[in-house]
């Protein structure tokens, strides 16, 4: 299958007619099924993702698409998505369907991302190996005798194994950064307050942050530009304007750009609205 580590490369190919976005989405769905023994996904939104891909392709080719158009992304199973199940890796919530969408999901949709499914995690995000889920453990794609890291193990393995282009995880004490390191992918925990927590099943509200897991720094920056920012539903979200993180990547090469990105995220989160 065609493999993209850069969203911009995918968007260019879709615009030129070199790739059919619904077909690419089908390929990812087939790969998820092929590697279901990794247990990264707990649910795939197959029909919805394919329909969405067709709509986004039209917008891309007409020049009217959002910043994340064509990004095939999975979300951790404690990020609420209206009319979809969210279980937080627990039997307690295994039949619960969310009645609203989290702010981060709404922003992904507005930016024309394609949400392909929900991803396994330690129960209520309480774990560092993703062995403590009602849905069973997640296996590391590089070596299935090894753990994926956690609690966002499903999110990390999905990117590692090429089951989708990017994912959202949550990080309280390392739950994006640690599994990303275990799986050899990019994982970013934004400074507290940079991204809204509205619609996230909480572990520790004073630490939790949603963060992207990707193949590249460039895609992490693009996703953060979209999901970051003030939110009327979360009084702890920073009111500082969101900078153009992706524009920082032109400075100083890969290493320098990552340092600039980290500094900008921290600087942009030092002032919050009143609680």
- Residues 10-23 have a mean pLDDT of 97
175 is annotated as an active-site residue:
yes
Q: Write down the mean pLDDT value for the chain.
A: 92
Residue 252 has what pLDDT? 52
Query: What average pLDDT does range 158-176 have in this prediction?
Result: 98
5 is catalytic: no
Hey, is 48 helix, strand or coil?
helix
| Spatial separation of the C-alpha atoms in residues 38 and 241, rounded to whole Å | 39
Q: How many domains in the chain?
A: 1
- Read off the tokens for 104: 């981060």
Has residue 249 been placed in a domain?
no
* 24 falls within a domain: yes
Which of the residues 101, 175, 238, 257 is marked catalytic?
175
Domain membership flag for residue 48: yes
Coil, helix or strand for 51?
helix
Classify the phi-psi angles of 193: left when phi > 0, otherwise alpha if psi is within -120 to 50, otherwise beta.
left
Among residues 76, 129, 152, 257, which one is catalytic?
76
Model confidence band, residue 216 (pLDDT cutoffs 50, 70, 90): very high
Structure token digits, residue 56: 């986004």
Q: Is residue 29 part of a domain?
A: yes
pLDDT of residue 273: 40
Write out the H or E segment, with its range, that includes residue 41: strand 41-44
Q: Which helix (DSSP H) or strand (DSSP E) does residue 62 occupy?
A: helix 46-62
Band (pLDDT 50/70/90 cuts) for residue 93 is very high
Domain extent, residue 12, equals 7-235
pLDDT over 90 at 142, yes or no: yes
Give the active site residue among 151, 152, 196, 238: 151
Q: Which CATH number does the domain housing residue 159 bear?
A: 3.90.1300.10
Give the confidence band of 275 by pLDDT, cuts at 50, 70, 90: very low
193 CB contacts (<8 Å, ≥6 apart)?
Answer: 236, 237, 238, 269, 272
- Among this protein's residues, is 151 annotated catalytic? yes
């Amino acid at each position: 299958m065609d493999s993209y580590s850069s969203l911009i490369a995918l968007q260019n190919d879709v615009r030129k007619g070199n790739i059919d976005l619904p077909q690419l989405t089908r390929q990812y769905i087939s790969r998820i099924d092929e590697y279901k023994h990794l247990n990264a996904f707990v649910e795939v939104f197959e029909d919805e993702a394919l329909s969405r891909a067709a709509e986004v392709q039209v917008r891309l080719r007409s020049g009217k698409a959002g910043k994340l158009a064509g990004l095939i992304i999975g979300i951790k199973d404690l990020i609420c998505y209206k009319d979809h199940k969210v279980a937080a890796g627990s039997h307690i919530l295994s039949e619960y369907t969310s009645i609203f969408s989290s702010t981060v999901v709404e922003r992904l949709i507005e930016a024309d991302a394609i949400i392909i499914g929900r991803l396994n995690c330690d129960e209520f995000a309480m774990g560092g190996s993703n062995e403590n889920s009602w849905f069973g453990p997640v296996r590391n794609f590089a070596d299935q005798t090894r753990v994926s890291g956690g609690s966002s193990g499903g999110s990390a393995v999905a990117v590692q194994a090429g089951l989708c282009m990017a994912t959202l995880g949550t990080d309280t004490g390392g739950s994006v950064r640690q599994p990303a390191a275990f799986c050899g992918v990019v994982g970013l925990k934004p400074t507290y307050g940079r991204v809204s927590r509205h619609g996230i099943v909480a572990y520790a509200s004073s630490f939790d942050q949603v963060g992207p897991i990707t193949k590249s720094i460039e895609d992490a920056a693009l996703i953060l530009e979209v999901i970051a920012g003030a939110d009327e539903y979360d009084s702890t979200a920073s009111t500082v304007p969101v900078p153009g993180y992706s524009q920082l990547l032109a400075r100083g090469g890969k290493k320098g750009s990552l340092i600039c990105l980290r500094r900008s995220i921290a600087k942009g989160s030092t002032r919050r609205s009143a609680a």
